[in-house]
Amino acid sequence: MFAAYIATAIGGMTLASLPPGNLTVFWLPAGIGVAVLLVLGRRGTVVVAAASFTANGLMMGDQGQVLLATALSAAVDSLQSWLGWSLLRRHWDNLVGAPVHDPRRLRGLASICLIPPLATVWLLPLIHDLARTAGPLTLHAFLERTLMLLLADTSGLFLVVPVVVGFSAGWPAMRLPAALALLAVAQVAVSAIDPLLAPLALLGLALMAFIFQFPGAAAGNLVCATVMVVQAAFDLGPLRGQGTAQAIVVLNLTIVGVGIAVLYMGLLQDEQHRMRATLRDEVERRTRQLEERSRALAASNGELEQFAYIISHDLRQPLRMIASYVKLLDTRLKERLAADEQDFFEYVRSGASRMDQMLVSLLEYSRVGRSGEPMVETDCRAQLDEALQYLEPAIQDAQAEIRIEGVWPILTASPNEMVRLFQNLIGNAVKYRVADRAPLITVSARPTDGGWRFAVSDNGIGIDADQFDRLFKVFQRLHPAKYADGAGVGLAVCRKIVERHGGRIEVDSQPGQGSTFAFTLP
Ligand code: ADP
């Protein structure tokens, strides 16, 4: 920092063609001063003061009043850098924290650019009188120097501050130095071919802002400006043939103009990256949340199933005992009981049997997916045939006609569950028939976009559309028991099987016309 400050101070004064004996107050390297304080904090003031003292001492040589003048100059440099730094800190949050299109950010940017020049302009006359090294202060000389200082400080701030702050904040990539070297070479090469082509290098600078965002823009600015300054000093490049002082004014104007544009471009890119990163973080956060929730849900589902299994399994034992003792009592007491007392016994017996049926169904429901049967290649048609075999007595009894249609696939599934699925659906189609109409049941399969669609249609009693939601829930029966006995669990089992296989089940029905239960499998 110390060396950089001295180099910038002496370099700046030499370029400005200030004769030996001038103080840095006529070319305050405010940019680097602010940068030093940004990186080192308050203690940076000591570095600035020491570096300024050394730089001024070196420039003054053996002229009179060396000690007083250099000390004063060092004090003013430090004061100005400190002023710039404290104002910058106040605006930094606006600059970095606000969205790029926010006017607060632009105001922040503008005020940062104006801090050191304004400080310089305010302090200049005072210093001038004190130092007495630049002759009497005419208005013309004052304006000329002020313009030079404004340009020098502004470009210094655009060039030096972003780079020093950026690198000290840890821009590590090696890609950036490599790209910067390439940029410098390109700039030299292009202006060597023809000085008029020099602006082409600015395209490379814009590219830096897009690829490396703000760090690229800041460092690219510095490299381009350095190349231009060196070219001007050796009377090369686009400003060839012009006087050094004029070249510096033109250069400063170019650097400031290009600097603002490129830095702003870099900021925009930064903003876009930040927004993308925020979005990505948000998506990741939500996904994690969702995963956690579905894990918790799966755990509580598992517990519920376990609970249902235990309840239905263990409750059957005492229930069976009740049923058999009621039967025993009934046999022993039959002769002695009045007719209505015999009815009471009958109620108890049928209640117990109904409860047992419900427990069996619940057990069956909770067993879906628990049997440990693996998913294997399953010939769906073979499972349908097996289900029909089990249903044969009921089909015969109802004189039902079964039609099988479509293309029947081989899928990865649980064979036993597939049999149960067909058995429940076709069993219902037979059960819920219209009394004086011969049941006609069509079972079909066909390929769809994402898998297969199976359907069981009947010409039975049908279901009201507003009851569809209830159908697939446990213990829900829509029709009175006179139609058929059952516990109201068959369709819940079907849904569980289908969903376990990654499919969906749905119903379509017209009361009095018939129903179609269809399910998909991937
Ligand atoms: P269960 O048949 O044991 O009552 P399900 O869960 O299989 O239980 O069916 C639930 C209810 O849906 C049945 O009680 C019946 O009212 C209705 N249902 C099911 N299948 C049909 C069908 N094919 N036609 C008309 N109603 C049906």
- CA 17/CA 218 separation, integer angstroms: 27
Residue having the nearest C-alpha atom to atom 14 of ligand 1: 477
Strand blocks (E) in 313-439: 376-379, 401-406, 410-413
Query: Does residue 100 have a pLDDT over 70?
Result: no
Tokens 């609970």 correspond to 307
Is the fold of 1-170 the same as that of 373-521? no
Q: How far is the CA of 360 from the centre of ligand 1 (A)?
A: 17
Mind listing the pLDDT tens digit for each residue in 338-377?
Answer: 888 888 888 888 888 888 888 888 888 887 877 667 889 9
Domain edges within the chain: 1-170, 172-276, 315-367, 373-521
Measured from the CA of 487, which atom of ligand 1 is nearest? 3
> Of 1.10.1760, 2.30.30, 1.10.10, 3.40.50, which CATH number belongs to 1-170?
1.10.1760
Give the helix/strand (H/E) hosting 240.
Answer: none
Name the nearest CA neighbour of 414 among 330, 334, 503.
503
Identify each DSSP E strand in 214-294 by its residue range: none
- Let me know: does 484 contact 491? Beta carbons within 8 Å: no
DSSP 372: -
Q: Going by CA atoms, what residue is nearest to atom 7 of ligand 1? A: 490
Give nearest CA residue, ligand 1 atom 19: 428
Q: Which CATH architecture has domain 373-521?
A: 2-Layer Sandwich (3.30)
Tokens matching residue 300:
């509580």
CA distance 366 to 360: 10
Question: How confident is residue 33, by pLDDT bands cut at 50, 70 and 90?
Answer: confident
**162 C-alpha to ligand 1 centroid (Å):** 75
Tens digit of pLDDT for each residue in 460-514? 999 988 888 888 888 777 776 656 677 788 899 999 999 989 999 999 999 989 9
* Three-class DSSP category at 243: coil
- Report strand pairing: 440-447 vs 452-457: antiparallel
Decide if 11 contacts 232 (C-beta within 8 A).
no
DSSP string, 331-365: HHHGGGS-HHHHHHHHHHHHHHHHHHHHHHHHHHH
- d(CA 394, CA 108) in angstroms, rounded, equals 85
pLDDT at 466: 87
Q: What is the mean pLDDT of residues 174-187?
A: 80
